[in-house]
Amino acid sequence: MSTIVLKGIDKYYGSNHVLKNLNLTIEDGEFMTLLGPSGCGKTTTLRVVSGLEKPQNGTLYMDGELMVNAKELYFAPPSKRMLNLVFQSYALWPHMTVFHNVAFGLSIKKVPKDEIKTRVENALSRMQILEYKDRYPSELSGGQQQRVAIARAIVSEPKVLLLDEPLSNLDAKLRIDMRSELKRLHEELGTTVIYVTHDQIEALTMSTKVAVFFEGELAQVDTPLNVYQNPADLRVADFIGNPSINFVQAKARLEGDLLHIESDVGSFAFDSDYFTENEFPKSGVFDCVLGIRPEQIYLRSNPWQDAKEAVVYASQPAGSETLVQIQMGGTRLLVKQVGVRNYHTNQSVYATILENMLTVYNKETGKLIKIAVDLDIEAVELEAQKASGTL
């Protein structure tokens, strides 16, 4: 068991308030990614958990055991927290072989040599680098060195594994490979993982939960799918997604259990079953913002059912996908289509929006007020085929 609970954590560097009343629970066996822009407090949170930083306020529990009580000036040392940390820099001993780098911590603990050999070779096998055990770090590529650093972290079988942007120094192909390795490793070991990154693709592809930070505060903690489909506010929606989400200014009014919306991209009515608990005006017209992901818009060259006419502003074929900017009334939208599509500037097209997948935000507060319906993926694909004319 390795549940971690942070309550009321405040961390200052001088007058700079880096973590602001942070409350976060990381369940046993989770792969929790701390995500956010530079300077948002995610690495500081990791260092507080590890014991490398002491907060000015708050408590920290691991497995129900008190590790930090700032009020009482109690801070359990890192060695008592049953965790290992992998840094952005690999921090390998250059004069030691791969085997001895990984074995170093076990040797300090005076583990028997036979057991060290077994555990080190098992860790290297998990990371698929056993054949390099007699090499020195300078003889390895960046990706191989990172695997050594992770093998060194898991060889002592920690309850918690902390990773601070471990893939940021790798090239694009290696990052993809290492994401797969880390995800597989987590599934095999079941260790609680806390992973820090500013790369949303890493967060969405590897995590079981994502905690999104802005300016030292938690904006949302949820599954990767729900963070993507239903960002809690406009900041999260704008941060998550590549290419970025479309924001459309609109007017809304509530009539009974229906939220009616008027915008350049169409008129919509949403049932109260999909409202959030965030409050919004219960009467009268108010300003709202629609969130539309680029892949939730489908284009045809010819009129199609309820498709709305638009004009191509620019087309950007990119091999596996095509990005198209369209003008619909006074609103410009970015559309993402799979495969190569040929559009030319000022061409008339017809756009279909998956309206059930729209999110709606109260413009005044920025909070989510209508969630996306979690449609069956086969239904979505069928709708996409119909909209694109391939069915």
CATH number of the structural domain spanning residue 111: 3.40.50.300
Decide which of 121 and 381 is more confident: 121
Assess whether 154 and 65 both reside in one domain.
yes
Please write the tens of the pLDDT for every residue from 52-106.
999 999 999 999 999 999 999 999 999 899 898 887 777 899 999 999 999 998 9
Record the pTM: 0.88
* Per-chain mean pLDDT for the chain: 90
Residue type, 284: G
Q: Is 189 helix (H, G, I), strand (E, B) or coil?
A: helix
Look at residue 253 and tell me whether its pLDDT is greater than 90: yes
Look at residue 378 and tell me whether its pLDDT is greater than 60: no
What is the per-residue pLDDT for 387? Answer: 53
Do 237 and 361 form a contact (C-beta atoms < 8 A)?
A: yes
What is the domain count for the chain? 2
Environment class of residue 100 by beta-carbon count within 10 Å: exposed (0-12), middle (13-18) or buried (19+)?
middle
Assess whether 283 and 142 both reside in one domain.
no
Assess whether 218 and 266 both reside in one domain.
no
Please write the tens of the pLDDT for every residue from 8-22.
999 999 999 999 999
Look at residue 386 and tell me whether its pLDDT is greater than 70: no
Assess whether 183 and 203 both reside in one domain.
yes
Assess whether 228 and 272 both reside in one domain.
no
Structural domain range at position 205: 4-234
Tokens 């290419």, located at residue: 243
Assess whether 290 and 223 both reside in one domain.
no
Beta bridge partners of 348: 311
Please write the tens of the pLDDT for every residue from 315-354.
998 888 999 999 998 999 999 998 888 899 999 999 999 9
Assess whether 115 and 31 both reside in one domain.
yes
Query: Which of 234, 256, 281 is where one domain is finished?
Result: 234
List phi, psi (to 5°) of 46: -60, -40
Environment class of residue 33 by beta-carbon count within 10 Å: exposed (0-12), middle (13-18) or buried (19+)?
buried
The whole-angstrom separation of Cα 223 and Cα 221 is 7
The whole-angstrom separation of Cα 5 and Cα 65 is 10
Query: Which of 191, 218, 234 is where one domain is finished?
Result: 234
Q: Which domain CATH number covers 253?
A: 2.40.50.140
Decide which of 291 and 150 is more confident: 291
Look at residue 143 and tell me whether its pLDDT is greater than 60: yes
Assess whether 212 and 245 both reside in one domain.
no
Assess whether 176 and 267 both reside in one domain.
no
Assess whether 185 and 47 both reside in one domain.
yes
Query: Which of 234, 250, 266 is where one domain is finished?
Result: 234
Assess whether 25 and 63 both reside in one domain.
yes
The whole-angstrom separation of Cα 186 and Cα 167 is 16
